[in-house]
Amino acid sequence: MFKKFQTKLVILFAALFVLVQAMTYSSVYFATKNNLDDQVTEQLRYGGTVFNQALEVRSERWLNETRIFSTDYGFRSAVTTYDEATVMSALKNLAARVDANLAMVVSLENEIVAQLSDDDQVKFTTAEFSQMIEFADEYGDATAYIELNNKIYQYTVVPVLAPVPVAWVGIGVQIDAAMIRDIKQTLPVGIDITLIERMDDGKLVPIETTLEGDASLAIDEILSSAIVEGNINFDSVADYNFMAYKMFLPSSLDNRNTAAVLTYSLDAAYSPYMPLAYMLMLLAALGLVSLIAGSITVARSVSSPLKVLTRAARLIQIGRYEKIEKIKQKDEIGELANHFNQMVIGIQDREEQIIYQAEHDLETGLPNRKSLEKYLNILAENHKDTGQEFSVLQLSVGRFGDIRNTLGYETARGLIKNISIRLLRNANSNNYVARLSTSNFCIVQEGASISDAKELAFKLLDIFEEPFSVKNFTIDTNVSIGISSCPDHADTVDLLIQRASIAALHAKDSIDRISVYDQKIDKYDPDQLSLMGDFRKSLDEGDVTFYYQPKIDLNSGRITHVEALVRWIHPVRGFIAPDNFITMAEQTGHIHHLTIWGLDTVIKQLREWEDVGINLKMAFNLSAYDLTNRKLPEIIIKLLEKYHIPRSAMVFEVTESAIMQDPELALEVLNAMDQHGFILSIDDYGTGYSSMSYLKKLPVRELKIDKSFVLDLATNREDEILVRSAIDLGHNLGLKVTAEGVEDEKTMELLKSFGCDTVQGFYISKPLPVADLNDFLKNSPFGLSVMPTSGQGTISQSDNTLVRMLEQKLAKN
């Protein structure tokens, strides 16, 4: 309902205060009122007692006076002798003495002996007097209050004793206003006396009263209100609140018609308390005002610091760490503010630490990859605006895994730390050194060309010449550096780092251990990937085909073999080198498909040739991947069976480097193939490891000398020695020897003279599509070697071929 703390607090406090005040006030009010009412009740009862006693004292006095009077010897003498004059004079004397209004002597025979009155209108009522005599005869005396002519008189009747009663004497004294006023003086203050008489018709009539003013005007109503004798009744007439106590005046007679009503004005009783009540109300009002003011102050002392804190908290939320102003309050709020500030400092410190940890490598304290990217981003942006170039050098620590495993993590960590220190020490002011990964650092050179970068790279290599000394170990490091540069190699951060990394990878294998990125070395070039996507499509659409290059048996001079060479003529990019896409196919997993497709294609081709009477053997190149496929012999056998081609029709060429990828498995596969009767040939012999031991182990029947030795054979003496040695080696091992790259006649003649078994090269023919090959086979001076139905036939045909070749030569010239 009330959202503001201040409002809530003020309303709550005010409500509680009012409640408590109301409770206090009402309890004080009721306690006071009850107490007052009790007091008034007590006062009235007490007043009644006092009033009664006052009347009694008077009554007693009159009685005694009358009694003494009655025993006067002279009076008795006068009464008993019926001396009326004397009796009358004595009565007058008595009346004067007691201020009686009436006096009378009555004989025992109820005859009035003498009577006097100060008012002609008033005389003793004989009926009541007789009753009183009867009572006095019985009890000795009698008193009663009698109404006469709207006045109240007290009658006193005593016998005249001589010493037995001889007559009765009575007096009547008016209870007048003066007398009750006198009596009122002896009562507790506030009590008023009203004498009332019940008339014969039952009506109550006030006779005398001490009430004054409005109250006396209301006296009839006061009388008419239900006043029960002996009870204290509360009543109110008009504005006059009072309590009343009614009592009959004591009488010897049975008829009780005269009563006194004592009234106590409650207004008068309460009036001394009214200033107190007003004071209490004033105090309550003042209290409420000061409480509201106080609670507003308290609420503000809470809510205004809270506002400050809330604002500060919002700022922290958006990352602005602002201390709040010092709150001077020394209470919990002040403490909260104080702690809040400490919290801000704490959060700030921790955030800085977290950011530092997020941006730095903890082992070296160098910026990490994330920071590097951030930094490079700035440089890249800067480059966009200003064209300022920059280079990224990735420095890879070689054999780091070995170092770690040998010398332990602690030492490795120490080495990395030392490397970072050495790097920083030798970095220029425009260099930014970061740690990329476990064994890779990155140095960014601002405003530098590629040549500057290379210069830096050489300098860095230099500083790594000196070994590192870590924990008593002296460690030689082998670092390589790859360089990429913006904008030459890339203008995005990711690509720059990636290309520096590729270059570093490449540098590892290079002689000077420094490599600048080049798309050629980047087998990860995304262009290559899209090429592989095209490759499948090209297979289906016949863009990938086999070209066949003839091989000549130098003994016969005839074509006995063809080497199947895969060709991909990309519809857009044209000729794509097999080395390129085969490596790619190996990396992307397409090689398996390519191998099966290739085998199927060439064996099918053998079938086609067979069908038209062309008898050739097929040389097929196996990739490194193929040599890891144990199922390869089985696949080939199935295909041969499919096309009904004998196993001897196939020669499989493998390179040494392909074998070296996984020598054991390769050897296993090759042995299996050999056992199945396939002829194996070592391709590109002389370029790889040319390991004699392997050569010995390998189940090959042929050795194929790489064309790099053959191309310049005719002019290069060294090549001649090498080739001749290789041929001799092969023959000595029982292998056939083939030379490729034969481009002129002299070379072929030389090879023939060296004893080489077969040759291939542009001199004979470049690789040809099937149709062209077919034509070549028909028209070539080398011709086809005929299936040896007999030894003779072979020789004669061979002769013919030689003749034809010679003819061609002549024609050319």
Partner 1 sequence: MQYIVQIGLVAIIAYFSSMAGDVFSATVSGKITDSDGNALEHAVITLVGQTPELISMTAVMPSPVMSQQDIQFNPFVLPVAAGTTVSFPNRDQIRHHVYSFSKVKRFELELYGEDEEKSVMFDQQGVVALGCNIHDNMLAYIYIARSNIFAKSDADGTVTINDIPAGVYTAYVWHPRMRADEEDMKQEIVVDENGGVEISFDVVLKRERNRKRSTY
Instruction: For partner 1, give the closer residue by CB, 158 or 403.
Output: 158
Residue 72 vs 235, nearer CB to partner 1: 72
The residue among 134 and 373 lying less far from partner 1, judged by its C-beta, is 134
CB of 159 or CB of 550, closer to partner 1: 159
Nearest to 586 by CA among 693, 510, 661: 661
Other CB atoms closer than 10 Å to residue 520's CB: what's the count?
8
Contact call for residue 83 and partner 1 (CB under 8 A): no
Task: Quote the least distance from Cβ 81 to partner 1, whole Å.
Answer: 8
User: Is there binding between residue 76 and partner 1 (CB under 8 A)?
Assistant: yes
What CA–CA distance (Å, rounded) separates 503 from 514?
8
User: 164, 318, 511, 771: which one contacts partner 1 (CB under 8 A)?
Assistant: 164
Residue nearer to partner 1 on the CB measure, 165 or 755: 165
Check binding of 73 to partner 1 (CB under 8 A). Answer: yes
As measured in angstroms, the least distance from the Cβ of 99 to partner 1 is 20
> Shortest Cβ distance from residue 139 to partner 1 (Å)?
7
Token reading at 5: 């703390």
Quote the least distance from Cβ 270 to partner 1, whole Å.
Answer: 48
What is the residue-wise DSSP string for 613-676? T---EEEEEPPTTGGG-TTHHHHHHHHHHHHT--GGGEEEEEEHHHHHHSHHHHHHHHHHHHHT
**Closest to partner 1 by CB, 167 or 784:** 167
What is the token pair recorded at 54?
Answer: 């006052």
Our finding on whether 163 is near partner 1 (CB under 8 A) is: yes
**Shortest CB 167 distance to partner 1, Å:** 10
Give the span between the Cα atoms of 242 and 267, in whole angstroms.
7
Shortest distance in whole angstroms from residue 265 CB to partner 1: 41
Query: What is the nearest approach in angstroms of partner 1 to the Cβ of residue 142?
Result: 12
Give the bridge partners for 193, in sequence order: 262
Nearer to partner 1, 158 or 531 (CB): 158
Nearest to 391 by CA among 428, 349, 363: 428
Nearer to partner 1, 77 or 186 (CB): 77
User: Cβ of residue 102: shortest distance to partner 1, in angstroms?
Assistant: 23
Q: Which candidate, 59, 58, 88, places its Cα nearest to that of 75?
A: 88
Q: Which is nearer to partner 1, 61 or 374 (CB)?
A: 61
Residue type for position 474 = T
State whether residue 441 is helix, strand or coil. Answer: strand
Rounded to whole angstroms, the Cα distance separating 537 from 541 reads: 6
Number of chain positions touching partner 1 (CB under 8 A): 18
Output the smallest distance, CB 30 to partner 1, in A.
52
Considering beta carbons, is residue 81 or 492 the nearer one to partner 1?
A: 81
What's the min distance (Å) between Cβ of 71 and partner 1? Answer: 6
Residue 565 CA, distance from chain mean position: 66
Cα gap 370→358, rounded to integer Å: 8
| CA atoms of 582 and 575, how far apart (whole Å) | 14
Residue type, 615: N
Quick check: 465 binds partner 1 (CB under 8 A)? no
Q: Which of 64, 68, 69, 90 is nearest to 78 (CA)?
A: 90
Contacts of 381-387 spanning 24+ positions with Cβ under 8 A: 383/486, 383/487, 383/491, 384/491
- Please identify, using beta-carbon distances, which residue of 77 and 290 lies nearer to partner 1: 77
Q: Coil, strand or helix: which one is 784?
A: strand
162 belongs to the binding site for partner 1 (CB under 8 A): yes
Q: Using an 8 Å Cβ cutoff, are 167 and 107 in contact?
A: yes
The stretch near partner 1 (CB under 8 A) out of 69-77, 175-183, 206-214, 650-658 is 69-77
Per CB under 8 A, the segment of 163-171, 257-265, 321-329, 403-411 that binds partner 1 is 163-171
- For position 706 contacting partner 1 by CB under 8 A, the verdict is no
Instruction: Check residue 161 for interaction with partner 1 (CB under 8 A).
Output: yes
Residue 76 vs 561, nearer CB to partner 1? 76
Residue bearing tokens 């002129």: 744
Residue among 97 and 508 whose Cβ is closer to partner 1: 97
Binding of residue 343 to partner 1 (CB under 8 A)? no
Binding partner 1 by CB under 8 A: which of 32, 41, 64, 329? 64
Spatial distance between the Cα atoms of 603 and 609, rounded to a whole number of angstroms: 10
The residue to which tokens 């029960």 are assigned:
228
Contacts of 714 (CB under 8 A, 6+ apart): 744, 746, 747, 750
270 phi/psi in degrees, rounded to 5: -80, -25
Q: In angstroms, what is the minimal distance from the CB of 146 to partner 1?
A: 22
- Return the residues of window 112-151 that contact partner 1 according to CB under 8 A: 137-141
Nearer to partner 1, 78 or 493 (CB): 78
Q: Which is nearer to partner 1, 65 or 534 (CB)?
A: 65
Q: Is 345 a residue that touches partner 1 (CB under 8 A)?
A: no
Of 27, 22, 6, 5, the C-alpha closest to 287 is 22
CA torsion, points 493, 498, 499, 505, in degrees to nearest 10?
150
418 lies in the binding site for partner 1 (CB under 8 A): no
Structure letter (DSSP) for residue 360: B
Among 41, 52, 71, 115, binds partner 1 (CB under 8 A): 71
Closer residue to partner 1 in complex, CB, 87/650: 87
How far is Cα 394 from Cα 441, in angstroms, rounded to an integer? 6
**Residue closer to partner 1, measured from CB, 141 or 208:** 141
Spatial CB neighbours of 291, under 8 Å, sequence gap ≥ 6: 13, 14, 17
Q: Answer yes or no whether residue 110 interacts with partner 1 by CB under 8 A.
A: no
DSSP conformation letters of 322-349 = -PPPPP---SHHHHHHHHHHHHHHHHHH
Pair of tokens at residue 96:
């004067």
Does position 35 bind partner 1 by CB under 8 A? no
* Pair of tokens at residue 481: 């550096």
Window 731 to 750, contacts with partner 1 (CB under 8 A): none
Encoded amino acid at 42, one letter: E
The span from the first CA to the last CA of the chain, in angstroms, equals 116
Told to check if 77 binds partner 1 by CB under 8 A, we report yes
- In the list 8, 67, 300, 804, the residue contacting partner 1 (rule: CB under 8 A) is 67
The sheet that has 102-107: what strands, in order across it? 112-117, 102-107, 165-174, 151-161, 142-148
Report the site for partner 1 in 275-294 (rule: CB under 8 A).
none
Q: State yes or no: residue 80 binds partner 1 (CB under 8 A).
A: yes
What is the smallest separation between the CB atom of 252 and partner 1, expressed in angstroms? 14
CB of 158 to partner 1, least distance (A): 9
> Where does this chain touch partner 1 (CB under 8 A) — which range of 75-83, 239-247, 328-336, 779-787?
75-83
CB of 224 to partner 1, least distance (A): 40
Residues that bind partner 1 (CB under 8 A): 64, 67-68, 71, 73, 76-77, 80, 137-141, 161-164, 166
